[in-house]
Structure 1
């Protein structure tokens, strides 16, 4: 029996967070919409019993009204036409698109939608690698109709099924490997299906900028451009030995293989997290003395959130740490390992507080995070959520 050609799909939800909000607020679907920040701000009073779809556009917060240092989590396609995009500061976005609607991030809603679309995928193609809240890799090779028309038949079926179940759209790239599938899914957004094969690499891959390869970030791209390598084709033409000399044996060899569209990575269908963490960026820089009460409250909430995440996902951890970003953007981390694994908020809070005593708290703080690593499953089963203990409200690390 002939061996079936490998067919890997990368499925990426289109403007996922904004699309979920578009389902909840249909009146926002065709207007510039930005997701960012943490609180709802209405421009005019909105009755608690008023259905979401009946809230008038005039009531929604506008980017022009925003004051702070938050960043955009995502933006819908109408907002992107104004040059607004993910990771951009909200104040900058306000200058580019002042009339854009601003909604806060609602991760509970996005996680629920994520579970829903992934459940649809697994009913049609059971071999799936979860890559995050809005994207997956799928092995089409042996899935029903996964080989028909190069995978297009199954891709179209998935798009229809996801839209029917969730109301959301997605883009799908199908290729012989993960690297090409990831690139393909981004070529015809939104709602596109793109097929790539090895024979397409010279005509469709090589004209693209190097940054289109997932794994080539800004710094690597800057170094490549300094070598005169701006497109993937120019990277492919660069001798392998030159890349290894400039970037090291492992990274240089990978750059060469990636430029030629080669990737042998398998799908990872089951994995355990290395750690769980929560962090928050403040609207203004906080000082450990002058803003002690506010920092204490936020620090406690982060510890409680991490503990709740551990309990919900069925993990306990031993290594507890903190992350601080100062006003000058310098980041410091500290951690400490406790004798036994735990998911107890009070233990996490106390140990993280000890970590805080080991950093400079005389400077203003921009970001604060709490992390629990060295995870394990207690007795092979998820523990029941314990009652939330009382935790001190003050920034105890200063005592």
Structure 2
């Protein structure tokens, strides 16, 4: 029997803002633009206690809570955290289907077979990892299929874990009101009520199946099966190519030793390059992450004029970004990522009829040289060179080898 997790980040946009601004923690926060006509995108759980919810007009929310905190949305932050969240989940299972920016289905069957942990223990570990690394909370539903897993994840928020099995699903979901069933919208629920279908258990009754055909049409059987705990849809993980390839490292001790930090960027850049090349993935977006404390971190990104997975380009870009934002603070973690990666086969560059393969290679090399030149111009007194050039300078090569041993 397969074991499916549905993992849902709790109040994601609001939680993302709190993760970078801990002073918002425990306060009623909503995410939207500051305008009387604005519609709330996400509300923190503290704001929800006042009856505030997503899709509510901002002016109405302020009437319910006079000290409401309105935060302008930062979608780049949400996208970055979302990618990092999926990357964490993918370390447990590659059979992952992204459902939206803040939720996914994961087939954990193989992982559980290979490890001596129960599904609850693994779910707890995932929650802990996401919370420690991203300062985000998530709820997890565990079930033999996607529908039941989705229903389970909605039952305990925030940081809840619910398991539904083939034995207990009737006790758990049948008593629920029909409008709480995943897939039943606000327009459909009243029509079902008119037919006397008040609960999911009512929808599961065979004698009500013919009645629902007037509402669901060709999907009537699908809803009937789901109400009876059956969902034959599969995890569609083939469409979920990695959106980013990144790696990070946490130092044993906080450090502001720039030579050491740069050596870590070199190591990480090499690992990211190798992973991207192995998967034949390329990107024109490179970012670094600096983590100062548990609460404070910073991410900086740069866009290149070409797609690459070349180590020298990644490393030079990472160093340039680092020098632009680093001010000598103690660091506990650094990371490097290729963002919005695509497969090399999907790359559709506009190539001139006069470009030869050799000329294209020169363009790639020249672009790397331009980054390195820019880096050297930015950092007077410091010489940056291609990694391949290190073999000509034995003393530098030995220094890097020592750091990597």
The two structures have a TM-score, normalised by structure 1, of 0.59
Task: Pick closer, same or farther for the CA change 1:378–1:125 going to 2, 3 Å.
Answer: closer
Cα RMSD over matched residues? 2.6
Aligned ranges 1:1-399 → 2 under 5 Å: 5-37=1-33, 67-144=35-112, 151-237=119-205, 239=207, 241-271=209-239, 380-381=346-347, 383=349
For 2:18 and 2:230, how far apart are their aligned partners in 1?
Answer: 38
For 1:185 and 1:92, how far apart are their aligned partners in 2?
Answer: 29
Task: Pick closer, same or farther for the CA change 1:172–1:145 going to 2, 3 Å.
Answer: farther
Listed as ranges, the gaps of 5+ residues in structure 1 are: 38-65, 274-310, 314-375, 385-399
Match of 1:295 in 2: none
Secondary structure of 1:228's counterpart equals coil
For 2:50 and 2:348, how far apart are their aligned partners in 1?
Answer: 46
Task: Pick closer, same or farther for the CA change 1:201–1:220 going to 2, 3 Å.
Answer: same
For 1:76 and 1:102, how far apart are their aligned partners in 2?
Answer: 11
For 1:91 and 1:136, how far apart are their aligned partners in 2?
Answer: 33
Task: Pick closer, same or farther for the CA change 1:242–1:32 going to 2, 3 Å.
Answer: same
Q: Which runs of 4+ in 1 moved over 4 A?
A: 144-150, 376-379
For 1:312 and 1:132, how far apart are their aligned partners in 2?
Answer: 24
1:273-299 deviations in Å (ceiling 9; x for gaps): 9xxxxxxxxxxxxxxxxxxxxxxxxxx
* TM-superposed deviation, 1:238: 5.2
Preserved CA contact (<8 Å) 2:112 2:118: no
Greater helix share, structure number: 2
Match of 2:384 in 1: none
Preserved CA contact (<8 Å) 1:207 1:233: yes
For 1:146 and 1:188, how far apart are their aligned partners in 2?
Answer: 28
Task: Pick closer, same or farther for the CA change 1:30–1:381 going to 2, 3 Å.
Answer: same
1:221-279 deviations in Å (ceiling 9; x for gaps): 11111112121112212525424542254221122112111101000113389xxxxxx
More moved, 252-261 vs 184-193: 252-261
Listed as ranges, the gaps of 5+ residues in structure 2 are: 242-282, 286-341, 351-405
The two structures have a TM-score, normalised by structure 2, of 0.58
Task: Pick closer, same or farther for the CA change 1:88–1:148 going to 2, 3 Å.
Answer: farther
Task: Pick closer, same or farther for the CA change 1:240–1:231 going to 2, 3 Å.
Answer: closer
Preserved CA contact (<8 Å) 1:11 1:172: yes
Preserved CA contact (<8 Å) 1:140 1:146: no
Preserved CA contact (<8 Å) 2:143 2:164: yes
